[in-house]
Amino acid sequence: MLKKTVCCAFVVFSVGWFAANRIFNTSARTDNNVLTSSLAQADKQQAQPPVNAAERDEAIAVIKKRIVGREDEPAEKVFKNIEILKGKKASRLPGMMSALTGLLGVNCTYCHVKGQWDSEEKPTKQTARKMFLMIGGINKDYFEGKNAVSCWTCHRGNPHPPIQ
Ligand code: HEC
Ligand code: HEC
C-alpha cells in the first residue's frame, strides 16, 4: 500500500515537473524571441551613416571664425534663430553643436540643412529644442537645477533611444 502511494506520488510529480518545464521553457523562448526581434528592429532604426568627424570639425572651425571678437556677445545677436541659447554667450554654440553630434550619434545635417544653419526646415531641429526644454524642466523640478539628466541619459549616441 505504502509502496503504491510512493510510486503514484512519484509519477504525478514527474509528469508535473515535465509539463511545468515545457511551459516555462517555451515561454522563456518566446520572450527571448520577442526581445531579440525588437532589438533587431531597433538596430535597423538606428542605422545612421557614421559621424563624419572631418566634416563636423570643418563646420565648427568656420563657425568659430565667424564669431571671432564676438564670443561674449549674446548668442541671439551673433546668430539668427536662437531660442535655447538666448542670453548665453555666443562662444557656447560651437561646443554645444559639436557635442550634439556625439550625444545622438548623428551628423550636423540630421538637424540642419547643410550650410544653412539658421534654417528651421528640419523637424529634428525643432525636436531637439523641445528636448532641451524637457531636460531643463526635469533638472529644475527634480534635481535642484543640477545637470543631472542630459541627452545622453536616454540617447546614448543614438537618435532614437535604444529601448522604448
Ligand atoms: C540634434 C540636433 C542638432 C545637431 C546634430 C546640430 N545642431 Fe546646430 N542647432 C540645433 C538647434 C536646436 C539650434 C538652435 C539653438 C537655439 O535655439 O538656441 C541650432 C543652431 C545652430 C546654429 C546657429 C544658426 C543661426 O544663425 O541661427 C549653427 C551655426 C549650428 N547650429 C551649427 C551646427 C553644426 C556645425 C553642427 C554639427 C557640428 C550642428 N549645428 C549640429 C540643433 C542641432
Ligand atoms: C527622457 C529621455 C530623453 C532625453 C533626456 C532626451 N531625449 Fe530626445 N528623444 C527621446 C525619445 C523617447 C525620442 C523619440 C524617439 C523615437 O521616435 O524613436 C526622442 C527623440 C529625439 C529626437 C528626434 C529623433 C528623430 O529622428 O525623430 C531628437 C533630435 C532628440 N530626441 C534630441 C534630444 C536632445 C538634443 C536631447 C538633450 C537636450 C534629448 N533628446 C534628450 C528621449 C529623450
Ligand nearest to the CA of 111: 1
42 close to ligand 2 (CB < 6 Angstrom): no
Nearest residue by C-alpha to atom 39 in ligand 2? 151
Residue 50: predicted pLDDT: 84
Among the atoms of ligand 1, which is closest to the Cα of residue 110? 5
| Alpha carbons 56 and 64: distance in angstroms, whole number | 12
> For 124-156, what is each residue's pLDDT tens digit?
999 999 999 999 999 999 999 999 999 999 999
SS3 for 89? Answer: strand
The closest of 29, 39, 50, 36 to 102, measured between CA atoms, is 50
Cell numbers for 155: 540617447
Q: Structure pTM?
A: 0.81
> For 39-77, what is each residue's pLDDT tens digit?
555 555 556 678 899 999 999 999 999 999 999 999 999
Provide the residue ranges of all domains of the chain, joining segments of one domain with +.
1-47, 53-155
